[in-house]
Amino acid sequence: MIYTTTQTKQTFFKKIIKVILIATFWILVWEAASRLVSRNNELLLLILPSPFTVLKTWIKIAFTPNFIISELLTLSRIFIGFIIGSFLGFVIGIITHISAIVYSLLSPILKIIRAIPVVAIIILMYLFFESSTLPVLIVCLMVLPLIWQTVHDGLKNTDKTLLEMSRVFDLSNRKTLVSIKLPSITANLITSCVNALGLAWKSGVAAEVICLPNISLGTMLWQGKGSVNFDEVYAVTLTVVVLSLIIEYFLKFLCNKYLARNGGVLND
């Protein structure tokens, strides 16, 4: 089927209108809930403020130097943790695929990390690490097992017929890994990275809320709660959600570009 530019534009605008309608619906639900809760007791407006109050607060704080620096520092902590976790997960996935002994040694640890609640890990690690580096470590620990599992399982499930071909034509282990095994896991790996990024945001901000680095969005959340300034809590949360969605969108955009060139498409 051939799509014209006009058709593509129409689909794009339809998508935008759909997003706006869905957002409007939920904002109205939020507004209704806020009015309902505060009908008998106006104090409850502090806990569930109107979306318009939150927007006003957001506009007030969004362009202050403190908020912008907090955003950048939180972003950088999450980004660094995500990159280190993904890289280590990828490398360990390859190593555990190659060596059964290393797999036996490492897999219990990685499975335990996945099973322990993130809050417990944060509290335990807080005993050993500084509050500014802990969120990086927590993000890394959340991302690593996910990527490791994807790489390890993907390599294990490579198309057997292609592996037989590589055996018959006497391909080296390096050639088999680079030309057959790794390309076969690309699509799953990209999906895992997108999922891991969502997890990175949640765990990174949670770590900041618990260990309170000097400047961070997590610290702002905690301070907002402490001073019963829930408008600010909602405004910061909104920022976290929007930043997370924007970064996820760009990651998906880049991945889809890559996959489209290589014959695959990432699911929404």
Task: Give the integer Cα–Cα distance in Å for 129 and 246.
Answer: 30
User: Least distance (Å) from another protein to the CB of residue 252?
Assistant: 20
Of 24, 66, 262, 265, the one binding another protein (CB under 8 A) is: 262
What CA–CA distances, in Å, run from 26 to 33, 181, 228, 236?
Answer: 10, 44, 25, 18
The site that binds another protein (CB under 8 A) totals a number of residues, namely: 15
Measured CA angle at 171 (ends 170, 175), to 5 deg: 175
Beta carbons of 255 and 267 less than 8 angstroms apart: no
Q: Using CB under 8 A, which of the segments 1-9, 19-27, 103-111, 172-180 binds another protein?
A: 172-180
- Nearer to another protein (CB atom), residue 170 or residue 268: 170
Q: Is 2 near another protein (CB under 8 A)? A: no
- Show contacts with another protein in window 136-165 (CB under 8 A): 161-162, 164-165
Task: Report DSSP letters for 26-70, one per residue.
Answer: HHHHHHHHHHHHTSS-GGGGGTS--HHHHHHHHHHHHTSHHHHHH
Q: Which region among 19-27, 67-75, 148-156, 170-178 touches another protein (by CB under 8 A)? A: 170-178
175 in contact with another protein (CB under 8 A)? yes
Distance (Å, whole) CA 91 – CA 88 = 5
Is residue 167 close enough to count as binding another protein by CB under 8 A?
yes
Residues that bind another protein (CB under 8 A): 161-162, 164-165, 167-171, 175, 179-180, 183, 262-263
